[in-house]
Amino acid sequence: MQPSIVRLERVTKTFALPEGGMITALKAIDLDVRRNEFLTLLGPSGCGKTTLLHSISGFVQLDGGKVSIDGEDVTERPPHRRPVNTVFQNYALFPHMNVDKNVGYALDIAGTDGKERGRRVGAALELVGLSGLGGRLPRQLSGGQQQRVALARAIIARPKLLLLDEPLSALDRNLRQAMQIELKGLQAELGISFIFVTHDQEEALTMSDRLAVLEKGVIQQLDTPRSVYSRPANAFVASFIGASNLFEGAARSDGTDMLVVTPNGEHIRAAGSGTVANGQPVTALIRPEQFSLHNGGNGQPAAFIDADVEQIVFTGLNYQIHGRTPAGRKVVAIIAAVHQREVAEIDAAKKARLTYDPAGVQLIGASGGEP
């Protein structure tokens, strides 16, 4: 058995721009998708994630490279001859067909026996929680129900791989969050690989076994959600995945810890003194949730940032504190809602001392990745 269900080798795709010129959407991409994994392609608009998905499904003709699925070269095969099904953003249901006919369409085309067809359609609808709704038309269903119909139609043909192109983007927030959990559970139950496209970082972190973060046609990092968040490969990944406080400067050891000294003279302390050479350009990453509020007791903390408070946003679970350092750099801290009294005090004073643990500071080298 092949170790990967999908292998991309040096996949390249270039498009002509309407105003003239060319743009390279994919730049010699190498990627292995493991069997039975939930892989998410994540990145901003125009980064190449949908083009990468379509290179697997066959909806784009590549300029170079090779696509293999289950050990077979499918680079030149059209979409209908690849063991892949796709769930699109707009669901693409047949409006004149009821749920039963939409779901069973592939079986009808294949001439599946009526009894077998009924059994498989019923099983697919039960799997996505739509038993008893086979007679309804798409317009008689909610957005979430239509999304489930599209899923049932995609899995009924038993593909080796399911591709999902932002299928949750049209749903409201609560339904979207519920469907994230359902999709992950469905993938585990089916035991096939899902490749999911999204630009929503929270969605990607919630659902994925691994994330491929793309920018300008290049995979910037491929790893588990936890690793991508806590150990970003470069400043782009750090700033795109979650909220970030990035401090660019030069490294300097004080014999105990590493200091990142910014051009404005700010000092960010990171645990360990031997990780970076003195004078090396480096960026310190502090996530907003790593900050705590200093209440003035117990003397001066070992590591802190003073900030003038510009805005405090209450989200229900926490407070987002937006401010600026004395040098004018923006800084964001997230403080749990249980600290309401302390937050009220800094709101009144319009000043905050934000403490952090140097052991939690991530250093990113000037060339990307850990220094």
CATH number of the CATH domain containing 155: 3.40.50.300
Query: Of 239, 268, 296, which residue is a domain's last?
Result: 239
Residue 43 is classified by DSSP as -
Residue 315: predicted pLDDT = 92
Is the confidence at residue 227, as pLDDT, over 80?
yes
Mean pLDDT of 179-193: 86
Question: What is the C-alpha separation between 49 and 215, in angstroms, rounded?
Answer: 9
State which of 206, 239, 272 marks the end of a domain: 239
Same domain, 214 and 254: no
Percent of the chain with pLDDT over 70: 96
Same domain for 268 and 232, yes or no, is no
Residue 207 and residue 317 in one domain: no
Contact between residue 279 and residue 287 where contact means Cβ atoms under 8 Å apart: no
Q: Does some domain include residue 370?
A: no
The one-letter code for the residue type at 15 is F
Instruction: Name the pairing type of β-strands 318-324 and 245-253.
Output: unpaired
Look at residue 84 and tell me whether its pLDDT is greater than 60.
yes
- Lowest average pLDDT, out of 21-25, 141-145, 294-298, 301-305, goes to 294-298
State the pLDDT at residue 358: 94
Identify whether 283 is part of a domain.
Answer: yes
18, pLDDT greater than 90: no
Predicted local distance difference test score (pLDDT) of residue 256:
83
For residues 159 and 273, the model is more confident at 159
Asked if the model's pLDDT at residue 368 lies above 70, the reply is no
Determine the pLDDT at residue 371: 53
pLDDT at 366 over 60: no
- Domain count for the chain: 2
pLDDT higher than threshold 70 for residue 10: yes
Do residues 217 and 256 share a domain? Answer: no
Reference 200, options 44, 63, 309; nearest CA is 44
Q: What is the mean pLDDT of the chain?
A: 90
> Counting Cβ atoms within 10 Å, is residue 330 exposed (0-12), middle (13-18) or buried (19+)?
exposed
Distance of CA 227 to the CA centre of its chain: 12
36 lies in which domain range? 4-239
Name the more confident of 64 and 157.
64
Stretch 69-73: mean pLDDT: 95
Question: Is residue 369 predicted with pLDDT exceeding 80?
Answer: no
Question: Would 349 be classed as within a structural domain?
Answer: yes
Please report the pLDDT score of residue 298 as a whole number: 67
Q: Answer whether residue 371 is part of any domain.
A: no
Distance CA 229, CA 24 (A): 27
Of 365, 367, 361, 354, give the one whose Cα is nearest residue 268: 361
Q: Which of 239, 256, 281 represents a domain boundary (last residue)?
A: 239
Which residues share a beta bridge with 81? none
Number of H helices, E strands in the chain: 10, 20
Q: Extract the tokens encoding 218.
A: 């290049």
Q: What is the mean pLDDT of residues 162-189?
A: 84
